[in-house]
Amino acid sequence: MTSTTETETKVEPQAPNKDQALAEATDNIDAVKDAGDKPAEENSTPSSPTKKTGTLKNVVTAHKKDFEKDIVYLYQFVRTPTIPALSACCLKVETWLRINGIKYENVDHKLRYKSKKGNLPFVELNGKEIDDADIIIRDLSTYFEKDLDSGLTEQQRTVAHAFESMLDNHTGWIVRWWRYNNPQEFLDTAQLDIKRSFNSRFPNSILNFVFKLGFRKHLKDAVASYPMGRFDNEEVFAAAKGDLKALSALLGTQKYFFGKDPSLIDCIAFAHLAQFIYVPFGGLKEWIQEEVPNLNEFVERIKTNYWSDWDAIVTSLDMNTHLPKKEVPEEEAKAADDAKKAAEEKKAEKKRLAEEKKKEREEKKKKEKEEKERKKKEKEEAEKAAKEKAAAEAAEAAAKQAENKTEQATENAASTDTPAEKKEADKTAESAPNGAPDAAKPEVTASE
């Protein structure tokens, strides 16, 4: 049996800035990329486990220290509004637990934990970790004496093994190929809330951006390791239809793949087919309903018989809707309601105060802006007045200077004789008799 597992890492945001958000989410890119490719879920209608034949080492290495004996604790990805598990591996394990009626509990760890090998899903049983979907099923089958294939013939087991390998290592790659190539469409179709999945303080806009980067990086790595990474749309969808037709032919008109009772291949086929139907892409959901309707009916049959709480899961996103609700004493219930109400009131008061502070900041900012504009206007008016005054003073000075120049020119013209006038005066003086009275001298006019 081949195995396919998911990788998840811890996401603990630091300071609320974009660079750190990018760094944090990038460090956890394996978890993001595999979440889009194959996250998990929970739920079942469990009954008491049967007699155990296997023994587990009495070494407590589990994350859950207060475990109960023979309860399987399943670690997987969070629920989504479209399907309990976006991971075929996780959905396979949980479906197997439900069909076998084994008591289990989903650990809502918000992607804080991964197995020692770095995988999801993994389980803990009596303090011991079991990693990898196929190994989980193998070991739990031995411990709880639950072999779904016990009634199959050798030939049926061989056929089942071949189809299980096809589903895990070929059909599953078709889903991954589409999700890696279309990360935004995948997020929208699955209604995946990355912020909630990682329990992060950073906004979805940043986390979604890093999610898409991680998908593209993973696709680049996948291209180098798997031929389908180099296929185009037409080739991938043709491969998908080939797998689905083969699966449909094997099922035929039977209730389950090998008769009236489910076997392991039914768990695996359901987990993969659910990805095509509940997170649809490329028109393959409609193609299944029209061309291989027995597969669609098969999925509905498993869902009805073993996932009766499906709608409750995708609505509430609760990890453990399959478990009975504990009776809460009236006083405790009232105290819880009061605490919830007080928390809501505190939250509302905090919101009100925040809005008031925001309003105060806006008012302060508005006043500062108005004051700034007023000062700017005053400065502009003062500068304008100064310029006008300077221009007027300059004009007045220029006019005065021009007037002074005119007066000076007139004075200079009046006080200065021309050479001809001076010569005539000298001639007159020579012709006058010696000792003549001063009155005989030329009379100086007032203008001189």
Q: What is the pLDDT of residues 338-388, one digit of tens each?
A: 888 898 898 899 889 998 988 999 999 999 999 999 999 999 999 999 999
Looking at residue 430, its pLDDT comes to 61
More confident residue, 155 or 442: 155
Q: How far apart are CA 270 and CA 256, in angstroms?
A: 10
More confident residue, 230 or 3: 230
**What type of residue is 209?**
F
pLDDT greater than 50 at residue 64: yes
pLDDT greater than 60 at residue 53: no
Please count the CA atoms within 13 angstroms of the CA of 298 that sit on its side-chain side: 32
More confident residue, 272 or 325: 272
Question: pLDDT-derived band of residue 91, with 50, 70 and 90 as boundaries?
Answer: very high
- Pull the structure tokens for residue 384: 């304008």
Q: What is the pLDDT of residues 176-225, one digit of tens each?
A: 889 888 888 988 998 887 777 666 777 777 877 777 777 667 666 665 56
More confident residue, 331 or 130: 130
Looking at residue 284, its pLDDT comes to 96
Q: What is the pLDDT of residues 277-304, one digit of tens each?
A: 999 999 999 999 999 999 999 999 999 9
What are the structural domain ranges in the chain? 6-316, 330-395
CATH class of segment(s) 6-316: mainly alpha
Q: How far apart are CA 99 and CA 325, in angstroms?
A: 21
Average pLDDT over residues 262-291: 97
**248, 237 in Cβ contact below 8 A?**
no
Radius of gyration of the chain (CA): 46
φ, ψ at 192 (rounded to 5°): -80, 125
* Torsion sign, CA atoms 343, 41, 192, 209: positive
Q: How far apart are CA 175 and CA 161, in angstroms?
A: 20
CB atoms within 10 A of CB 435: 6
Task: From 48, 40, 152, 36, select the one nearest 93 (Cα to Cα).
Answer: 40
Please count the CA atoms within 13 angstroms of the CA of 308 that sit on its side-chain side: 9
Using alpha carbons only, give the angle 189, 132, 168 rounded to the nearest 5 degrees.
Answer: 55
Q: How far apart are CA 13 and CA 24, in angstroms?
A: 6
Q: What percent of the chain has pLDDT over 70?
A: 75
